[in-house]
């Protein structure tokens, strides 16, 4: 798989089998974005994973720097706030 397409370039990624999270640069909008996708098929399909596999993929994506430091700080704040609200 090429890391550059006519519309986007892949900056970082993590994959778990055919499940993949990518940080991409969208050329038309001149901005970065995060894409969740299933690989290995040309058909557009949603990414569906059991929570335990999603957790592994998210951990790999964090290690591969797919997510920005700012996003992770905001995510930790949301999780911390939910923890104090009794969400489990």
Model pLDDT for residues 16-74, shown as the tens digit of each residue: 998 999 999 999 999 999 999 988 777 767 889 999 999 999 999 999 999 999 999 99
Q: What is the pLDDT of residue 13?
A: 95
Distance of alpha carbon 8 from the chain centroid: 15
Whether residue 68 is contained in a domain is answered as yes
The number of domains in the chain is 1
pLDDT at residue number 87: 56
Q: Which domain holds residue 37?
A: 8-84
Relative to beta strand 31-38, strand 8-16 is: unpaired
- Residue 3 within any structural domain of the chain: no
Whether the full predicted model's pTM is greater than 0.85, yes or no, is: no
Q: Considering the domain boundaries, does residue 1 fall inside one?
A: no
- Residues 7-17: tens digit of each pLDDT: 899 999 999 99
Question: Is the residue at 2 inside a domain?
Answer: no
**Per-residue pLDDT at 85:** 67
């Amino acid at each position: 798989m090429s890391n550059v397409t006519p519309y986007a370039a892949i900056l970082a990624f993590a994959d778990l089998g055919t499940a993949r999270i990518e940080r991409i640069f969208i050329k038309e909008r001149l901005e970065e974005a995060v894409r969740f996708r299933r690989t290995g098929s040309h058909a557009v399909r949603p990414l569906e994973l059991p929570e335990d596999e999603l957790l592994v993929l998210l951990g790999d994506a964090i290690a591969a720097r797919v997510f920005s430091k700012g996003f992770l700080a905001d995510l930790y704040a949301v999780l911390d706030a939910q923890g104090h609200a009794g969400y489990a």
